[in-house]
Structure 1
Amino acid sequence: MSDIFHEVEEDLRRERMKKAWDRYGIYVLGAAVLIVLVTAGWRGYEAWRVSSERAAGETYIEVLDQVQGAGTESTAQALEQYADSAPAGYAMLAKFRAATAFADLGNTDQAVTLLNEIADERDNLAIYRDLARIRLAQIYLNNSDPSSAKAAIGPIAQDAGNAYTLTAQELMGLAAYMENNVPEARRWFTSLQDAALSTQAAKQRARLMLALLTQISGAGDTASAGESAAQETN
Protein backbone atom coordinates (compact mmCIF):
# COMPACT_ATOMS: atom_id res chain seq x y z
CA MET A 1 0.00 0.00 0.00
CA SER A 2 2.82 2.38 0.83
CA ASP A 3 4.37 1.70 -2.59
CA ILE A 4 1.23 2.97 -4.30
CA PHE A 5 1.31 6.22 -2.29
CA HIS A 6 5.01 6.61 -3.06
CA GLU A 7 4.39 6.20 -6.82
CA VAL A 8 1.53 8.71 -6.70
CA GLU A 9 3.79 11.18 -4.88
CA GLU A 10 6.54 10.73 -7.48
CA ASP A 11 4.03 11.30 -10.30
CA LEU A 12 2.77 14.47 -8.66
CA ARG A 13 6.38 15.72 -8.20
CA ARG A 14 7.23 15.08 -11.85
CA GLU A 15 4.04 16.85 -12.92
CA ARG A 16 4.91 19.91 -10.82
CA MET A 17 8.46 19.99 -12.20
CA LYS A 18 7.15 19.71 -15.77
CA LYS A 19 4.78 22.64 -15.23
CA ALA A 20 7.56 24.69 -13.63
CA TRP A 21 9.92 23.92 -16.53
CA ASP A 22 7.25 24.77 -19.09
CA ARG A 23 6.75 28.12 -17.38
CA TYR A 24 10.31 29.06 -16.38
CA GLY A 25 12.57 26.87 -18.48
CA ILE A 26 13.20 29.55 -21.10
CA TYR A 27 14.46 31.91 -18.39
CA VAL A 28 16.78 29.26 -16.97
CA LEU A 29 18.23 28.63 -20.42
CA GLY A 30 18.56 32.38 -21.02
CA ALA A 31 20.40 32.88 -17.74
CA ALA A 32 22.78 30.01 -18.56
CA VAL A 33 23.51 31.43 -21.99
CA LEU A 34 24.06 34.89 -20.47
CA ILE A 35 26.55 33.51 -17.95
CA VAL A 36 28.47 31.78 -20.74
CA LEU A 37 28.49 34.97 -22.85
CA VAL A 38 29.58 37.19 -19.94
CA THR A 39 32.36 34.77 -19.00
CA ALA A 40 33.56 34.55 -22.59
CA GLY A 41 33.36 38.34 -22.94
CA TRP A 42 35.34 38.94 -19.77
CA ARG A 43 38.02 36.46 -20.82
CA GLY A 44 38.15 38.12 -24.20
CA TYR A 45 38.47 41.56 -22.63
CA GLU A 46 41.26 40.37 -20.32
CA ALA A 47 43.13 38.87 -23.25
CA TRP A 48 42.68 42.09 -25.23
CA ARG A 49 43.82 44.23 -22.28
CA VAL A 50 46.95 42.16 -21.70
CA SER A 51 47.72 42.16 -25.42
CA SER A 52 47.16 45.93 -25.66
CA GLU A 53 49.37 46.67 -22.66
CA ARG A 54 52.10 44.41 -23.99
CA ALA A 55 51.93 46.14 -27.37
CA ALA A 56 51.94 49.56 -25.70
CA GLY A 57 55.00 48.60 -23.66
CA GLU A 58 56.84 47.43 -26.75
CA THR A 59 55.92 50.63 -28.56
CA TYR A 60 57.08 52.72 -25.59
CA ILE A 61 60.46 50.98 -25.62
CA GLU A 62 60.72 51.57 -29.36
CA VAL A 63 59.95 55.27 -28.90
CA LEU A 64 62.56 55.54 -26.15
CA ASP A 65 65.12 53.82 -28.37
CA GLN A 66 64.37 56.29 -31.15
CA VAL A 67 64.64 59.42 -28.98
CA GLN A 68 67.48 58.26 -26.72
CA GLY A 69 70.05 61.02 -26.68
CA ALA A 70 68.61 62.77 -29.72
CA GLY A 71 67.72 65.93 -27.81
CA THR A 72 65.57 67.56 -30.47
CA GLU A 73 62.08 69.00 -30.47
CA SER A 74 60.86 66.14 -32.65
CA THR A 75 61.92 63.55 -30.06
CA ALA A 76 59.91 65.26 -27.35
CA GLN A 77 56.95 65.51 -29.72
CA ALA A 78 57.25 61.80 -30.48
CA LEU A 79 56.83 61.00 -26.80
CA GLU A 80 53.90 63.39 -26.54
CA GLN A 81 52.18 61.83 -29.55
CA TYR A 82 52.70 58.36 -28.14
CA ALA A 83 51.06 59.48 -24.87
CA ASP A 84 47.91 60.58 -26.74
CA SER A 85 46.94 56.99 -27.60
CA ALA A 86 48.77 54.91 -24.97
CA PRO A 87 47.19 53.23 -21.92
CA ALA A 88 47.08 55.45 -18.84
CA GLY A 89 50.24 54.17 -17.15
CA TYR A 90 52.43 54.37 -20.23
CA ALA A 91 50.89 57.71 -21.21
CA MET A 92 51.89 59.16 -17.85
CA LEU A 93 55.46 57.86 -18.17
CA ALA A 94 55.73 59.27 -21.67
CA LYS A 95 54.46 62.66 -20.51
CA PHE A 96 57.07 62.76 -17.76
CA ARG A 97 59.82 61.98 -20.26
CA ALA A 98 58.45 64.44 -22.80
CA ALA A 99 58.20 67.19 -20.16
CA THR A 100 61.85 66.64 -19.22
CA ALA A 101 62.85 66.70 -22.87
CA PHE A 102 60.93 69.92 -23.53
CA ALA A 103 62.41 71.54 -20.41
CA ASP A 104 65.94 70.58 -21.49
CA LEU A 105 65.26 72.16 -24.87
CA GLY A 106 64.05 75.38 -23.24
CA ASN A 107 60.40 74.85 -24.15
CA THR A 108 59.21 75.24 -20.59
CA ASP A 109 55.65 76.16 -21.57
CA GLN A 110 55.07 72.74 -23.11
CA ALA A 111 56.83 71.04 -20.21
CA VAL A 112 54.57 72.84 -17.75
CA THR A 113 51.48 71.90 -19.79
CA LEU A 114 52.34 68.19 -19.71
CA LEU A 115 53.19 68.18 -16.01
CA ASN A 116 49.95 69.98 -15.18
CA GLU A 117 48.06 67.32 -17.14
CA ILE A 118 49.66 64.64 -14.98
CA ALA A 119 49.01 66.57 -11.76
CA ASP A 120 45.37 67.24 -12.65
CA GLU A 121 44.51 63.71 -13.82
CA ARG A 122 42.51 62.23 -10.95
CA ASP A 123 43.02 58.66 -12.20
CA ASN A 124 46.76 58.97 -11.59
CA LEU A 125 47.99 57.88 -8.18
CA ALA A 126 48.55 60.75 -5.75
CA ILE A 127 52.27 59.99 -5.52
CA TYR A 128 52.65 60.58 -9.27
CA ARG A 129 50.52 63.72 -9.24
CA ASP A 130 52.69 65.12 -6.43
CA LEU A 131 55.85 64.15 -8.28
CA ALA A 132 54.61 66.16 -11.26
CA ARG A 133 54.11 69.16 -8.95
CA ILE A 134 57.64 68.76 -7.59
CA ARG A 135 58.98 68.73 -11.13
CA LEU A 136 56.89 71.80 -11.93
CA ALA A 137 58.42 73.66 -8.99
CA GLN A 138 61.92 72.79 -10.18
CA ILE A 139 61.17 74.15 -13.65
CA TYR A 140 59.65 77.32 -12.22
CA LEU A 141 62.70 77.91 -10.03
CA ASN A 142 65.03 77.34 -12.98
CA ASN A 143 63.06 80.03 -14.77
CA SER A 144 63.20 82.48 -11.86
CA ASP A 145 59.51 82.16 -11.03
CA PRO A 146 59.50 81.41 -7.27
CA SER A 147 55.86 82.41 -6.73
CA SER A 148 54.62 79.76 -9.20
CA ALA A 149 56.95 77.22 -7.63
CA LYS A 150 55.47 77.90 -4.19
CA ALA A 151 51.93 77.65 -5.54
CA ALA A 152 52.72 74.23 -7.05
CA ILE A 153 54.16 72.62 -3.92
CA GLY A 154 52.90 74.63 -0.96
CA PRO A 155 50.38 71.98 0.17
CA ILE A 156 52.98 69.21 -0.20
CA ALA A 157 55.48 71.07 1.98
CA GLN A 158 52.85 71.44 4.71
CA ASP A 159 51.79 67.77 4.61
CA ALA A 160 54.02 65.83 7.01
CA GLY A 161 52.71 62.51 5.69
CA ASN A 162 53.52 63.20 2.06
CA ALA A 163 56.38 61.24 0.50
CA TYR A 164 57.78 64.45 -1.02
CA THR A 165 57.41 66.73 2.01
CA LEU A 166 61.13 67.23 2.59
CA THR A 167 61.86 67.81 -1.09
CA ALA A 168 59.04 70.34 -1.21
CA GLN A 169 60.34 72.10 1.90
CA GLU A 170 63.78 72.47 0.35
CA LEU A 171 62.26 73.90 -2.82
CA MET A 172 60.09 76.24 -0.75
CA GLY A 173 63.22 77.44 1.03
CA LEU A 174 64.94 78.10 -2.29
CA ALA A 175 61.87 79.95 -3.56
CA ALA A 176 61.84 82.16 -0.45
CA TYR A 177 65.57 82.79 -0.89
CA MET A 178 64.98 83.87 -4.50
CA GLU A 179 62.34 86.28 -3.22
CA ASN A 180 64.83 87.68 -0.66
CA ASN A 181 62.48 86.54 2.09
CA VAL A 182 65.15 85.61 4.64
CA PRO A 183 62.84 84.74 7.58
CA GLU A 184 60.71 82.38 5.48
CA ALA A 185 63.75 80.77 3.87
CA ARG A 186 65.33 80.28 7.29
CA ARG A 187 62.14 78.65 8.57
CA TRP A 188 62.04 76.10 5.74
CA PHE A 189 65.73 75.23 5.89
CA THR A 190 65.65 74.93 9.67
CA SER A 191 62.72 72.53 9.37
CA LEU A 192 64.64 70.53 6.79
CA GLN A 193 67.77 70.46 8.94
CA ASP A 194 65.88 69.29 12.02
CA ALA A 195 63.68 66.70 10.30
CA ALA A 196 64.44 63.18 11.51
CA LEU A 197 63.93 61.71 8.04
CA SER A 198 66.17 64.17 6.20
CA THR A 199 69.15 62.58 4.50
CA GLN A 200 72.63 63.70 5.46
CA ALA A 201 72.99 65.35 2.07
CA ALA A 202 69.76 67.30 2.60
CA LYS A 203 70.84 68.33 6.11
CA GLN A 204 74.18 69.51 4.74
CA ARG A 205 72.50 71.61 2.05
CA ALA A 206 70.17 73.07 4.68
CA ARG A 207 73.12 74.01 6.92
CA LEU A 208 74.90 75.68 4.01
CA MET A 209 71.81 77.70 3.15
CA LEU A 210 71.28 78.69 6.78
CA ALA A 211 74.89 79.88 6.97
CA LEU A 212 74.37 81.88 3.78
CA LEU A 213 71.17 83.39 5.15
CA THR A 214 72.98 84.37 8.34
CA GLN A 215 75.64 86.14 6.30
CA ILE A 216 72.98 87.94 4.25
CA SER A 217 71.12 88.95 7.39
CA GLY A 218 74.34 90.13 9.05
CA ALA A 219 75.34 92.11 5.98
CA GLY A 220 71.93 93.71 5.97
CA ASP A 221 72.20 94.65 9.61
CA THR A 222 75.67 96.15 9.01
CA ALA A 223 74.42 98.14 6.06
CA SER A 224 71.48 99.44 8.09
CA ALA A 225 73.77 100.46 10.93
CA GLY A 226 76.05 102.24 8.48
CA GLU A 227 73.15 104.16 6.97
CA SER A 228 71.92 105.17 10.42
CA ALA A 229 75.39 106.39 11.42
CA ALA A 230 75.69 108.39 8.19
CA GLN A 231 72.34 110.03 8.80
CA GLU A 232 73.31 110.93 12.38
CA THR A 233 76.59 112.43 11.15
CA ASN A 234 74.80 114.53 8.60
Structure 2
Amino acid sequence: MVDVFEEVEDQIRTERYMALAKRLAPWAIGAGVALTIGLGGVWGYQAWHNAQSDKAGQIYLDAIEALQNQDEGKATALFGELTHSPLKIYKVAGYMDQGGLRLQAGKPQEAAELFDKAAALASDPFVKDLARLKSALALMDTAPYKDIEARLTPLTDDKRPLHLSAREALAFAKLQAGKTKEARADFNALSLALGAPEGVVQRARVAIDLIDSGSGPAMSQAVKDSLTVNPNQFAPPGMPQGPEGAPQ
Protein backbone atom coordinates (compact mmCIF):
# COMPACT_ATOMS: atom_id res chain seq x y z
CA MET A 1 0.00 0.00 0.00
CA VAL A 2 2.90 2.32 0.83
CA ASP A 3 4.28 1.78 -2.64
CA VAL A 4 0.95 2.79 -4.16
CA PHE A 5 0.89 6.07 -2.19
CA GLU A 6 4.49 6.80 -3.14
CA GLU A 7 3.69 6.16 -6.79
CA VAL A 8 0.69 8.50 -6.59
CA GLU A 9 2.82 11.19 -4.90
CA ASP A 10 5.51 10.80 -7.54
CA GLN A 11 2.93 11.16 -10.26
CA ILE A 12 1.43 14.27 -8.63
CA ARG A 13 4.91 15.72 -8.17
CA THR A 14 5.74 15.03 -11.81
CA GLU A 15 2.52 16.64 -13.00
CA ARG A 16 3.28 19.73 -10.91
CA TYR A 17 6.79 19.97 -12.35
CA MET A 18 5.41 19.60 -15.87
CA ALA A 19 2.82 22.31 -15.23
CA LEU A 20 5.49 24.59 -13.75
CA ALA A 21 7.77 23.93 -16.70
CA LYS A 22 4.98 24.80 -19.14
CA ARG A 23 4.38 28.09 -17.31
CA LEU A 24 8.08 28.98 -17.21
CA ALA A 25 8.95 27.81 -20.71
CA PRO A 26 7.87 31.05 -22.48
CA TRP A 27 9.89 33.10 -20.00
CA ALA A 28 12.96 30.91 -20.40
CA ILE A 29 12.68 31.03 -24.17
CA GLY A 30 12.16 34.81 -24.03
CA ALA A 31 15.23 35.25 -21.86
CA GLY A 32 17.28 33.15 -24.24
CA VAL A 33 16.09 35.15 -27.22
CA ALA A 34 16.77 38.43 -25.39
CA LEU A 35 20.28 37.27 -24.54
CA THR A 36 20.89 36.26 -28.14
CA ILE A 37 19.56 39.59 -29.42
CA GLY A 38 21.63 41.47 -26.83
CA LEU A 39 24.82 39.71 -27.80
CA GLY A 40 24.01 40.20 -31.44
CA GLY A 41 23.38 43.90 -30.81
CA VAL A 42 26.72 44.32 -29.07
CA TRP A 43 28.52 42.52 -31.88
CA GLY A 44 26.62 44.52 -34.48
CA TYR A 45 27.45 47.85 -32.80
CA GLN A 46 31.11 46.91 -32.52
CA ALA A 47 31.23 45.93 -36.17
CA TRP A 48 29.49 49.20 -37.14
CA HIS A 49 31.84 51.24 -34.94
CA ASN A 50 34.91 49.56 -36.43
CA ALA A 51 33.65 50.14 -39.96
CA GLN A 52 32.96 53.83 -39.26
CA SER A 53 36.35 54.22 -37.59
CA ASP A 54 38.12 52.64 -40.57
CA LYS A 55 36.23 54.90 -42.97
CA ALA A 56 36.92 58.09 -41.01
CA GLY A 57 40.54 57.09 -40.44
CA GLN A 58 41.08 56.68 -44.17
CA ILE A 59 39.51 60.08 -44.85
CA TYR A 60 41.84 61.63 -42.29
CA LEU A 61 44.89 59.95 -43.86
CA ASP A 62 43.79 61.16 -47.29
CA ALA A 63 43.50 64.70 -45.91
CA ILE A 64 47.02 64.53 -44.47
CA GLU A 65 48.32 63.25 -47.79
CA ALA A 66 46.60 66.15 -49.55
CA LEU A 67 48.33 68.58 -47.19
CA GLN A 68 51.67 66.94 -47.89
CA ASN A 69 50.97 67.46 -51.59
CA GLN A 70 50.05 71.09 -50.85
CA ASP A 71 46.50 70.53 -52.04
CA GLU A 72 44.75 72.55 -49.34
CA GLY A 73 41.46 72.62 -51.23
CA LYS A 74 41.19 68.84 -51.16
CA ALA A 75 42.36 68.70 -47.55
CA THR A 76 39.73 71.24 -46.53
CA ALA A 77 37.00 69.23 -48.26
CA LEU A 78 38.12 66.00 -46.60
CA PHE A 79 38.31 67.57 -43.14
CA GLY A 80 34.84 68.95 -43.82
CA GLU A 81 33.66 65.44 -44.62
CA LEU A 82 34.95 64.31 -41.23
CA THR A 83 32.63 66.77 -39.49
CA HIS A 84 29.73 64.56 -40.65
CA SER A 85 31.21 61.39 -39.15
CA PRO A 86 29.01 59.68 -36.54
CA LEU A 87 32.15 59.27 -34.39
CA LYS A 88 32.66 62.31 -32.17
CA ILE A 89 36.46 62.24 -32.09
CA TYR A 90 36.61 62.48 -35.89
CA LYS A 91 33.99 65.25 -35.96
CA VAL A 92 36.16 67.21 -33.52
CA ALA A 93 39.26 66.53 -35.62
CA GLY A 94 37.47 67.76 -38.72
CA TYR A 95 36.47 71.04 -37.07
CA MET A 96 39.90 71.57 -35.50
CA ASP A 97 41.88 70.96 -38.67
CA GLN A 98 39.45 72.92 -40.83
CA GLY A 99 39.85 75.79 -38.38
CA GLY A 100 43.61 75.57 -38.68
CA LEU A 101 43.43 75.81 -42.45
CA ARG A 102 41.01 78.77 -42.29
CA LEU A 103 43.44 80.53 -39.98
CA GLN A 104 46.29 79.78 -42.31
CA ALA A 105 44.25 81.27 -45.15
CA GLY A 106 43.79 84.54 -43.26
CA LYS A 107 40.18 83.93 -42.19
CA PRO A 108 40.36 84.22 -38.38
CA GLN A 109 36.62 84.67 -37.80
CA GLU A 110 35.78 81.48 -39.70
CA ALA A 111 38.60 79.69 -37.91
CA ALA A 112 37.30 80.77 -34.51
CA GLU A 113 33.79 79.56 -35.35
CA LEU A 114 35.15 76.13 -36.27
CA PHE A 115 37.27 75.94 -33.13
CA ASP A 116 34.20 76.90 -31.08
CA LYS A 117 32.25 74.05 -32.67
CA ALA A 118 35.05 71.64 -31.78
CA ALA A 119 35.10 72.91 -28.19
CA ALA A 120 31.33 72.50 -27.85
CA LEU A 121 31.49 68.95 -29.15
CA ALA A 122 34.64 67.65 -27.45
CA SER A 123 34.33 65.70 -24.22
CA ASP A 124 38.04 65.44 -23.40
CA PRO A 125 39.06 68.42 -21.18
CA PHE A 126 42.40 68.90 -22.93
CA VAL A 127 40.89 68.91 -26.42
CA LYS A 128 38.04 71.18 -25.30
CA ASP A 129 40.43 73.75 -23.81
CA LEU A 130 42.82 73.46 -26.76
CA ALA A 131 39.98 74.39 -29.11
CA ARG A 132 38.96 77.31 -26.89
CA LEU A 133 42.55 78.55 -26.71
CA LYS A 134 42.97 78.35 -30.48
CA SER A 135 39.71 80.23 -30.96
CA ALA A 136 40.89 83.05 -28.69
CA LEU A 137 44.24 83.22 -30.47
CA ALA A 138 42.53 83.35 -33.84
CA LEU A 139 40.58 86.44 -32.76
CA MET A 140 43.46 88.16 -30.97
CA ASP A 141 44.04 90.74 -33.70
CA THR A 142 40.40 91.58 -34.40
CA ALA A 143 38.27 91.13 -31.26
CA PRO A 144 38.16 93.68 -28.42
CA TYR A 145 40.35 92.93 -25.41
CA LYS A 146 37.30 92.29 -23.22
CA ASP A 147 36.17 89.50 -25.54
CA ILE A 148 39.61 87.87 -25.52
CA GLU A 149 39.81 88.23 -21.75
CA ALA A 150 36.40 86.58 -21.35
CA ARG A 151 37.52 83.65 -23.50
CA LEU A 152 40.90 83.13 -21.85
CA THR A 153 40.27 83.84 -18.15
CA PRO A 154 38.36 80.58 -17.43
CA LEU A 155 41.22 78.63 -19.03
CA THR A 156 43.80 80.14 -16.67
CA ASP A 157 42.49 78.27 -13.63
CA ASP A 158 45.25 76.07 -12.18
CA LYS A 159 43.04 73.01 -12.56
CA ARG A 160 42.64 73.48 -16.31
CA PRO A 161 44.97 71.43 -18.53
CA LEU A 162 46.31 74.39 -20.54
CA HIS A 163 46.33 77.04 -17.81
CA LEU A 164 49.94 78.13 -18.42
CA SER A 165 49.39 78.57 -22.17
CA ALA A 166 46.20 80.50 -21.43
CA ARG A 167 48.01 82.75 -18.94
CA GLU A 168 50.71 83.40 -21.52
CA ALA A 169 48.12 84.23 -24.17
CA LEU A 170 46.29 86.55 -21.77
CA ALA A 171 49.55 88.33 -20.92
CA PHE A 172 50.10 88.91 -24.63
CA ALA A 173 46.52 90.17 -25.02
CA LYS A 174 47.13 92.69 -22.22
CA LEU A 175 50.33 93.82 -23.88
CA GLN A 176 48.55 94.24 -27.20
CA ALA A 177 45.80 96.23 -25.49
CA GLY A 178 48.34 98.62 -23.98
CA LYS A 179 48.11 97.15 -20.47
CA THR A 180 51.89 96.95 -20.27
CA LYS A 181 52.21 96.98 -16.48
CA GLU A 182 49.70 94.14 -16.05
CA ALA A 183 51.31 92.18 -18.88
CA ARG A 184 54.73 92.51 -17.28
CA ALA A 185 53.38 91.24 -13.96
CA ASP A 186 51.85 88.25 -15.70
CA PHE A 187 55.06 87.45 -17.59
CA ASN A 188 57.02 87.76 -14.35
CA ALA A 189 54.68 85.28 -12.64
CA LEU A 190 55.09 82.89 -15.55
CA SER A 191 58.87 83.14 -15.39
CA LEU A 192 58.70 82.01 -11.76
CA ALA A 193 55.90 79.44 -12.09
CA LEU A 194 56.76 76.02 -10.69
CA GLY A 195 56.57 73.29 -13.31
CA ALA A 196 56.31 75.72 -16.21
CA PRO A 197 57.83 74.37 -19.45
CA GLU A 198 61.21 75.84 -20.30
CA GLY A 199 59.79 77.43 -23.44
CA VAL A 200 57.18 79.34 -21.43
CA VAL A 201 59.79 80.54 -18.93
CA GLN A 202 62.19 81.68 -21.65
CA ARG A 203 59.50 83.56 -23.59
CA ALA A 204 58.32 85.24 -20.38
CA ARG A 205 61.85 86.45 -19.60
CA VAL A 206 62.33 87.73 -23.15
CA ALA A 207 58.99 89.52 -22.94
CA ILE A 208 60.00 91.19 -19.68
CA ASP A 209 63.30 92.35 -21.16
CA LEU A 210 61.57 93.76 -24.24
CA ILE A 211 58.93 95.54 -22.14
CA ASP A 212 61.63 97.05 -19.93
CA SER A 213 63.53 98.21 -23.00
CA GLY A 214 60.44 99.84 -24.44
CA SER A 215 60.15 97.32 -27.27
CA GLY A 216 57.08 95.56 -25.96
CA PRO A 217 54.72 96.49 -28.82
CA ALA A 218 57.28 95.36 -31.40
CA MET A 219 57.46 91.87 -29.95
CA SER A 220 53.69 91.30 -29.91
CA GLN A 221 53.55 89.44 -33.23
CA ALA A 222 56.49 87.24 -32.24
CA VAL A 223 54.73 86.33 -29.02
CA LYS A 224 51.53 85.51 -30.87
CA ASP A 225 53.41 83.38 -33.38
CA SER A 226 55.00 81.42 -30.54
CA LEU A 227 51.60 80.78 -29.02
CA THR A 228 49.76 79.80 -32.18
CA VAL A 229 49.43 76.03 -32.38
CA ASN A 230 50.25 74.44 -35.73
CA PRO A 231 46.99 74.15 -37.72
CA ASN A 232 47.56 70.49 -38.60
CA GLN A 233 48.55 69.30 -35.15
CA PHE A 234 45.29 67.71 -34.01
CA ALA A 235 44.89 64.03 -34.80
CA PRO A 236 42.50 61.38 -33.46
CA PRO A 237 44.07 58.57 -31.40
CA GLY A 238 46.19 56.28 -33.55
CA MET A 239 46.37 58.74 -36.43
CA PRO A 240 49.62 60.42 -37.50
CA GLN A 241 50.23 64.12 -36.99
CA GLY A 242 50.11 66.54 -39.88
CA PRO A 243 53.25 67.42 -41.81
CA GLU A 244 54.15 70.17 -39.37
CA GLY A 245 54.03 67.80 -36.41
CA ALA A 246 52.79 68.35 -32.89
CA PRO A 247 53.42 71.48 -30.83
CA GLN A 248 56.18 71.56 -28.24
Please give the TM-score of this superposition, normalised by the length of structure 1: 0.81
CA drift at 1:72: 4.0
Q: Percent identity?
A: 24
Q: How does 1:78-227 map to 2 (within 5 A)?
A: 78-85=78-85, 87-121=87-121, 123-143=122-142, 145-157=144-156, 159-216=157-214
**Residues 3 and 150 from structure 1, CA distance in 2 versus in 1: closer, same or farther, beyond 3 angstroms?**
farther
**CA distance in 1 between partners of 2:168 and 2:135 (Å):** 14
| Aligned AA (1:130) | D
Report 1 or 2 for greater relative contact order, CA contacts < 8 Å, sequence distance ≥ 6.
Answer: 2
- Counterpart AA for 1:180: G
Q: Distance in 2 between matches of 1:178 and 1:156?
A: 19
Quickly say closer, same or farther: Cα 1:213–1:63, change in 2 above 3 A: closer
Counterpart of 1:66, as a letter, is A
C-alpha deviation, 1:40, in angstroms: 1.4
Report the Cα offset of residue 109 of structure 1: 2.0
> CA shift at 1:204, angstroms?
1.8
Paired residues, number:
215
Secondary structure at the counterpart of residue 141 of structure 1 = coil
* Counterpart Cα distance in 2 of 1:5 and 1:192: 95
In structure 2, how many angstroms separate the alpha carbons of the residues matched to 1:119 and 1:79?
16
- Shift of residue 216 of structure 1? 4.1
Larger Rg: 1
Secondary structure of 2:139's counterpart equals helix
Gaps of 5+ in 2: 216-248
Q: Deviations over 1:104-136 (max 9, x none)?
A: 011222211110001122x52121110001111
Structure number with the higher helix fraction is 1
Matched residues in 2 for 1:26 and 1:163: separation?
A: 55
Q: What is the deviation of 1:154? A: 0.9
Q: Aligned partner of 2:39: which letter?
A: T
Write the deviation string for residues 36-72 of structure 1: whole angstroms up to 9, x where unpaired. Answer: 1221122122112112211221222123223435264
Q: Deviations over 1:79-107 (max 9, x none)?
A: 12332235211121122111111110112
Which residue of 2 is the match for residue 40 of structure 1?
A: 40
SS class of match (2:191): helix
Deviates more, 1:59-68 or 1:95-104: 59-68
- TM (norm. structure 2) is 0.77
- Conservation of the 8 A alpha-carbon contact between 2:112 and 2:135: yes
